[in-house]
Structure formats: structure tokens, C-alpha cells
Amino acid sequence: MLERCLDLLAPALAGPGATVVDCTLGLGGHAEALLARFPDVRLVGLDRDTAALDLAGARLAPYGDRATLVHAVYDELPEVLAKLGTPRVQGVLFDLGVSSMQLDEAERGFAYAQDAPLDMRMDQTRGMSAAEVLNTYPPGDLVRLLRAYGEEKQARRIVEAVVRERDREPFRNSARLVELIRDALPQAAKRTGGNPAKRTFQALRIEVNGELAVLERAVPAAVDALAVGGRVAVLAYHSLEDRLVKRVLTAGATSTAPAGLPVVPERYQPRLALLTRGAELPTEDEIAANRRAAPARLRGAERVREVQP
């Protein structure tokens, strides 16, 4: 859906002096496409993964000082822009979830299809690993996070098995957890929905990286950073992310006027206009070319007015 993201952002980036923020830089694919398509644009790229920043830096080196890369989590966007002296920007892009590099590097522990240390930290310089969460959280907290972040109906069964096993030997690698989940689930639950471990791994990854809490701060911050006429595009990969993005963008595109006013004052007018009808989905051709694109959901909005005091 890269081209669709570029098309959504294009009207805001066509003018001279435009700045666009790639909040999820990864390997720099989206950033490179933005710099190539919009030759006058300045790009600010954020990522919490230092390895990704190094690789993206090499990829974007031909664009010189048009690209500024920053080691930061995307909810730190206001602080980053303040330090750069660029409080308002014309475009913001989020490509959420796990990058291809993180999935493909077994030692990062994101993928349930291969055995690896249970790490899952996007920034390996700080924070708790997935193994530490599994081995130290009280059972009730584990049940709640599997239900909330993994939408796992069998959370209690899985956690009971985890607690029994961690008392015997702490968890360190992913294969043991995958096997435990397979053994813990009833046959009916294993027949649908793909790999039975995927919901648990999603929940652990979200918890380890604070993904939803970060996103809940980051999307409003991105909207606040947009100049009038600026645009934001967000690619989400599971329903929890997409619902949060939908809520923020829809609220911004809704009048805040009390009911019954014959004329709506300017300060109550929506500050956003939605650019997508619902969430746009990848085409069949794109899914065939890249199976990881299948769950993608794209939403976009344009800043149409300043907030009146």
C-alpha cells in the first residue's frame, strides 16, 4: 500500500519547503519513496530500533541532509520536532507493527515460526523482554494482557500452563512457549485462526513495547503537529491499532458543538477531514506479492483548521 500512502500525502507535500515525518522508519523503504517522489521534501525519520536506524541511514545517505534520522519512539514526536525547530509539518506517516527486519532476524524473538530467545523489544537497549514478562508477571496480569492485547479467548488456559511451566523452569526461548500453547488449547481452538500462538505473541509484543499506550499518545500528537493542509496516513495491522486510530481521526473530524445550535461557531468546527472511507484494504495483487500486507488497514486525514482558543 506504499503507493496509496504516497498518493494520500501528495497534496500536502507538493509545495516547496514541506517536511514529512516517517514515524516508523524501519529499513527506510517508505522514507526513500517519499524522498524520491517529492524532491523538495525534507524528511524526519524516527525509530526506536538502533539497528534499523543504521540500515536506514545507509539506504538514505544519497539524499544527504534532506533526511534527518532520530532515535526516538514515535510518541516523542513533539519533543523531536521542537529540537529540530520544526513545530509544524506537512505530512506524517505511521507504518505500525513489526518491521520485516525484526520478523526475519530470528534472534529478536518476534516470530513464532522459528525458535529464538523471547526478547521482542524493538529497542534492545532498554525495557523488559518477553521472557521477563512471562516469568515475573502475576497470573492475573498475564490473563488480562492476553485478553486485552491478544484477544485470546483461551487466556486462562494458556496462563495456567505458563505458570506451571515457569515454576519448573523459566521461559527463555520461543519454541517452548509455542509448544505449550499448542498443548494447552482445546482441539476446536486450534482448527481456526492460523498459528495458535500468534495471539499470545502479539499480546507479549504489545506489552513489551508499550505499543498501544505509545500509539494512543502518538496519533493525537501527530495531528497537533500538522499545519493546516497537512496530512496524516496510518497503516495498522491489527484491530486494536486500527480501532484506536479510527477513534482519534473520527473525533478530530467531528463537530464538538453542543446539540441544537442554529449556527456552529468556528471553535466547534472539525479540525480534520477524513481522506478514506473507513479503512482501505490491500488489493489481492499486493497480498499475493507480500503476504504480510494482508492484515493492513489504511486511514488518512487532513488538517483543515487551527484549534481556536
Res 295: pLDDT: 86
For the cut 70, the answer to whether the pLDDT of residue 193 exceeds it is no
pLDDT in tens, 133-187: 999 999 999 999 999 999 999 999 999 999 999 999 999 999 999 999 999 988 7
Q: Both 191 and 117 in a single domain?
A: yes
Do residues 124 and 160 both lie within one domain?
A: yes
* Angle, helices 198-209/139-150, rounded to nearest 10 degrees: 100
Residues 89 and 232 in one domain: yes
Same domain, 83 and 215: yes
Are 177 and 217 in a shared domain? no
Give me the domain span that covers residue 80.
2-95+211-303
Identify the domain boundary among 152, 185, 209: 209
Residue 174 lies in a domain: yes
Most confident of 30-39, 102-111, 121-130, 177-186: 30-39
Cell of 132: 521477563
Q: What is the pLDDT of residues 240-290, one digit of tens each?
A: 999 999 999 999 999 887 877 777 787 788 999 999 999 999 888 888 888
The residue type at 141: D
Confidence (pLDDT) at 190: 65
Written as one letter, the residue type at 224 is: D
CATH number at residue 158: 1.10.150.170
pLDDT at 104: 47
| 205-222 per-position pLDDT tens digit | 999 999 899 999 999 999
| pTM score, whole prediction | 0.86
What DSSP line would sit under 226-282, residue for residue?
EEEEEEEEEEE-SHHHHHHHHHHHHHHTS--PPTT-SS--GGGS-SEEE-SSS-B--
Of 156, 189, 209, the last residue of a domain is 209
- Asked, for residue 309, whether it belongs to a domain, the answer is no
> Are residues 298 and 164 part of one domain?
no
- Residue 116 and residue 166 share a domain: yes
Does 216 lie in the same domain as 90? Answer: yes
Instruction: Kindly state whether residue 46 falls inside one of the protein's structural domains.
Output: yes
196 confidence band (pLDDT: 50, 70, 90): confident
Q: Single out the residue in 209, 241, 262 at which a domain terminates.
A: 209
Domain count, the chain: 2
Do 15 and 80 lie in one domain? The reply is: yes
Q: Find all residues with CB under 8 Å of 303, minimum gap 6, and list them.
A: 223, 226, 227, 228, 229, 230, 231, 232, 271, 272
The answer as to whether 101 is a domain residue is no
Q: Which three cell numbers stand for residue 96?
A: 505500525
Q: What CATH number did the domain enclosing 287 receive?
A: 3.40.50.150
How far apart CA 121 and CA 70 sit, in angstroms, is 18
Q: Is residue 177 part of a domain?
A: yes
Instruction: Kindly report the backbone phi and psi dihedral angles of residue 234, in degrees, each rounded to the nearest multiple of 5, phi listed first.
Output: -130, 125
Contact by Cβ (8 Å): 108, 119: yes
**CA 175, chain centre distance (Å):** 26
Both 227 and 86 in one domain: the answer is yes
User: In the block, which residue shows the cell 508477571?
Assistant: 137
Let me know whether 203 and 110 are in one domain: yes
Condensed to tens digits (0 to 9), the pLDDT of residues 64-81 reads: 999 999 999 999 999 999
Write the DSSP assignment of 127-142 as a string of letters: S--HHHHHHHS-HHHH
Phi, psi dihedrals of residue 283, rounded to the nearest 5°: -75, 165
The DSSP letter of residue 106 is G
- Do residues 174 and 233 both lie within one domain? no
Banded model confidence at residue 8, pLDDT cuts 50, 70, 90: very high
154 domain residue, yes or no? yes
Residue 43: CB atoms within 10 A of its CB come to 27
Question: If pLDDT is split at 50, 70 and 90, which confidence band does 43 have?
Answer: very high
Return the pLDDT at 113: 66
In DSSP terms, 69 is beta-bridged to: 45
